Amino acid sequence: MLTEFALYSDRLFMAAVGVYVLAMVLHGAEYAVQRSAKGVLVGAGGPAVETDAPPPDAPPRDGSGPGRAERYGRMGVSLVVLGAVLQAASIVLRGLAAQRWPLGNMYEFTSAICLAAVVAWLVVLRRSPASRPMGLFVLLPVVILLFLGGTVLYAPAAPVMPALQSYWLVVHVTTVSIASGLLMVPGVASLLFLLRRSGKLEGFAERLPSADALDRLAYRITIIAFPLYTFAIMAGAIWAEAAWGRFWGWDPKETVAFVAWVIYAAYLHARATAGWRSGPAAWVNVAGFAAVIFNLFFINMVVSGLHSYAGLG
């Protein structure tokens, strides 16, 4: 029974990745069609996926791009929803299979971060559907991370070592995953914002939401994720006090969490400082997310510390 759960969990994970990749293809097609529609007018370049009858709510069918682009975009979003459902099911089954909270190793952790990012993205889409063209760029890091998670970081479902058997694991690791996942969206938005503002890649950046909208999006999510991240670090400190004998010891993981936190604090200050408000602040936001990712991968895999979960400590 348990091994079956584990197996289904893995399959659902793979299915979710597949669905996300497909969603990316559709979002890509949305771009391509829009682009060709702009240039050549009639359906050149778009994938030859034609249905016989137009869907009832489709815009006027004159064969031009925007109608199709819209359709591809919507299909892409539906697939993202499907992917999120599959991925959530995979995580739940993983927990059942291992009979513990499903956040005990890097694979599970990466999966949770990506799910948080995808759900955050869907909420954004719901509130401002005009952001949809960003979808491709939100999915890109998600798919890369999930791919790494499913290959390099993969670990079979198993119980965790005694140091991780604590309800603080649930509190600390869940919040830190959600916060990291949320922060991925502002990270992408800020990068796109910088890209848009730089004026390079004209035709390509044009279809993204406006620079202003991207900037606002980044800020709005950051101010939700940052307090959560703060809480997660504090929960980690409380756990460290119970597990390792001190609440803060400048272990590499703690140190980089501190660095990321300070960078996000700098972001919020930059938003309130004349001359720093938009461009420089966006760089700071990107740097903050880079620190979060660095902490997740580099520190876990290259630098050894208490967080590498070796030995009793």
Partner 1 sequence: MASTELATRPPESGDPRPTGGRLAIPRNAWRALTSMRTALILLFLLALAAMPGALLPQRSLNQQLVDQYFTDHPSIAPLLSRLGFFDVFAAPWFAAIYLLLMISLVGCVLPRTIEHAKTMRAAPVATPRNLGRLPHHGSATLDVGPEEAAERVRHRLRGWRKVETATGSGRTISAEKGYLREFGNLLFHLSLIGLLVGFGAGKLYGYGGQVIVLADGGQFCNTGILGYDSFQAGLRVDGTNLQPFCVRVNDFEASYLPDGQPESYHASIGYQTTDDLNAGRVDQWRPYPLEVNSPLRLDGSRVYLINHGYAPRFTVTFPDGQKRTGEIQWQPVDATTYLSQGATKFEPPGVTDEEKRRTSQLAITGLLAPTSSGGQVVTSVFPALRDPEVAVDVLRGDLGLDDGRGQSIFEVDQSKIDSGQLKQVARANLVPGQSITLDDGTIVTFDDVRQWVALQISHDPGQDTVLVFAVLMLIGLGLSLSIRRRRFWARLTPTADGTRTVVEIGGLARTDRAGYGEEFDRLRADLLDAPHTGAEVDGSGADGPNTAAKDG
Of 28, 47, 92, 255, the one binding partner 1 (CB under 8 A) is: 255
With H, G, I as helix, E, B as strand and everything else as coil, classify residue 64: strand
* Residue 259 lies near ligand HEM (rule: CB under 6 A): no
Letters for 88-107 (x = contact with partner 1 by CB under 8 A, - = none) are: --------------------
Of 81, 224, 259, 268, the one binding ligand HEM (CB under 6 A) is: 268
Of 204, 246, 269, 294, the one binding ligand HEM (CB under 6 A) is: 269
Q: What is the dihedral of CA 26, 28, 34, 36, to 10 degrees?
A: -110
How long, in residues, is the chain? 313
Measured from the CB atom, the residue of 53 and 272 that comes closer to ligand HEM is 272
Query: From partner 1, ligand HEM, none, which one binds at residue 250 (CB under 5 to 8 Å depending on kind)?
Result: partner 1
- Cβ atoms within 10 Å, residue 114: 28
Strands, E assignment, the chain: none
* Residue 13 lies near partner 1 (rule: CB under 8 A): no
Of 21, 234, 265, 287, the one binding ligand HEM (CB under 6 A) is: 265
User: 93 vs 167, 169, 175, CA distance in Å?
Assistant: 19, 18, 20
User: 177 vs 160, 224, 227, CA distance in Å?
Assistant: 18, 14, 13
Per CB under 8 A, the segment of 97-105, 136-144, 192-200, 267-275 that binds partner 1 is 267-275
Measured from the CB atom, the residue of 68 and 100 that comes closer to partner 1 is 100
Site size toward partner 1 (CB under 8 A) is 58
Query: From partner 1, ligand HEM, none, which one binds at residue 241 (CB under 5 to 8 Å depending on kind)?
Result: partner 1
CB of 176 to ligand HEM, least distance (A): 17
* Residue 272 lies near ligand HEM (rule: CB under 6 A): yes
Site size toward ligand HEM (CB under 6 A) is 4
Per CB under 8 A, the segment of 58-66, 105-113, 186-194, 256-264 that binds partner 1 is 256-264
CB of 266 to ligand HEM, least distance (A): 8
Instruction: Label residue 49 exposed, middle or buried (CB < 10 Å: 0-12, 13-18, 19+).
Output: exposed
* Residue 129 lies near partner 1 (rule: CB under 8 A): no
CB of 224 to partner 1, least distance (A): 8
Q: Is the dihedral of CA 154, 3, 19, 83 positive or negative?
A: negative
* Residue 227 lies near ligand HEM (rule: CB under 6 A): no
Beta bridge partners of 64: 42
Element (H or E) spanning 241, and its range? Answer: helix 211-243
Per CB under 6 A, the segment of 147-155, 232-240, 243-251, 264-272 that binds ligand HEM is 264-272
Buried b (16+ CB within 10 A) or exposed e, 29-45: bbbbbbbbbeeeeebee
CA pair distance 82, 310, nearest whole angstrom: 37
> In one letter, which amino acid is 212?
D
CA pair distance 147, 141, nearest whole angstrom: 10
User: 103 vs 58, 175, 176, 203, 224, CA distance in Å?
Assistant: 43, 11, 11, 42, 22
Give me the residues that bind partner 1 (CB under 8 A), please. 158-159, 161-163, 165-166, 168, 216, 219-220, 223-224, 226-227, 230-231, 234, 237-239, 241-252, 255-256, 258-259, 262-263, 265-266, 268-276, 291, 299, 303, 305, 310-313
Give me the residues that bind ligand HEM (CB under 6 A), please. 265, 268-269, 272
